[in-house]
Amino acid sequence: MDAKSLASVCDDLYVEMFVNTQLDLPTNRETVLTFFERVQKQYPSMTCFYRGQGTQYSLEEDRTLGQYRWVNLELNRLGSGWVNPEVLEQVYQQDRLVLELMPYMLGISPLDIESLDLSFAMDFVYAGNHDEVIAEALFGSTAFGTLLDWPGAKAVGFSPAVVVALSEDNRTQARVSVESKTSVLEDDSHRQGSDEAITLSLTIRQFPPLTGRLDPVASFVNQCQVAEELMTERIIPYFVQPLIGALNQRRSN
């Protein structure tokens, strides 16, 4: 799968990896700075370091370029990602570096890992009613879609999310969500000119096995393969293309 082809059908593309932990991650000055300095050594263009709310720390490239890498450290989560990447393998290399560094520099062992997530997210900017677009594109003649046939009914809360197990032990899961940014209380006059986006995301989550230990790097490689296959065979044809069709139709009217 080509990152450029994915980026060509949406306004913004996000590829993100998160390690969710059972215990709190380190917050002392020396450990935090040493970890991010090691990441920066590999990627010198990541020069924007800042502290967010609480104990969140982030190292990023310049966001104004529209395409940038980032790594962040939160209380119970370590993240790595890229906004609008051109080559997926470059994203994966960064993620693998973070996974390889975390046991030695942050003390994250397989025992501490609650889950490992890999996400592909796509934004579709639209100033109109997001819920109506989602309902039209994805619900059609379904049972939920028939509710819109009721006199005076209109879509005001269509942000579906589903989770399916991809393994017999239910430890590998896929979550697909489509998020509307239109408020239930908004009217058409408030939406005009809005740059909010409909967000479609696919997350492959791996929980540690019931027996044995989770190998984060091996799991990540498998999750990348599963995510790419699902994006190609299910998400693009059955979610992205209908959304694009509904958006194009409304924009042309």
Among 1-5, 69-73, 226-230, the minimum mean pLDDT is found in: 1-5
Total tally of structural domains belonging to the chain? 1
Confidence (pLDDT) at 193:
43
Identify the residue whose tokens are 């709190």: 24
Q: Which domain holds residue 190?
A: 3-252
Identify the residue whose tokens are 């594109």: 137
Mean pLDDT across the chain, nearest whole number? Answer: 93
Task: Kindly state the tokens that stand for 147.
Answer: 């509710």
Q: Which of 113, 77, 118, 94 is nearest to 38 (CA)?
A: 94
Confidence (pLDDT) at 1:
78
Confidence (pLDDT) at 10:
95
C-beta of residue 106 within 8 angstroms of C-beta of residue 98: no
pLDDT digits (tens, 9 = 90+) for 140-188: 889 998 999 899 998 999 999 999 999 999 999 999 999 999 876 655 5
Average pLDDT over residues 70-88: 96
Residue ranges of alpha helices (H) inside 138-198 are 188-191
pLDDT at 191 over 80: no
C-beta of residue 18 within 8 angstroms of C-beta of residue 99: no
C-beta of residue 158 within 8 angstroms of C-beta of residue 139: yes
Q: Which of 237, 200, 19, 235 is nearest to 107 (CA)?
A: 19
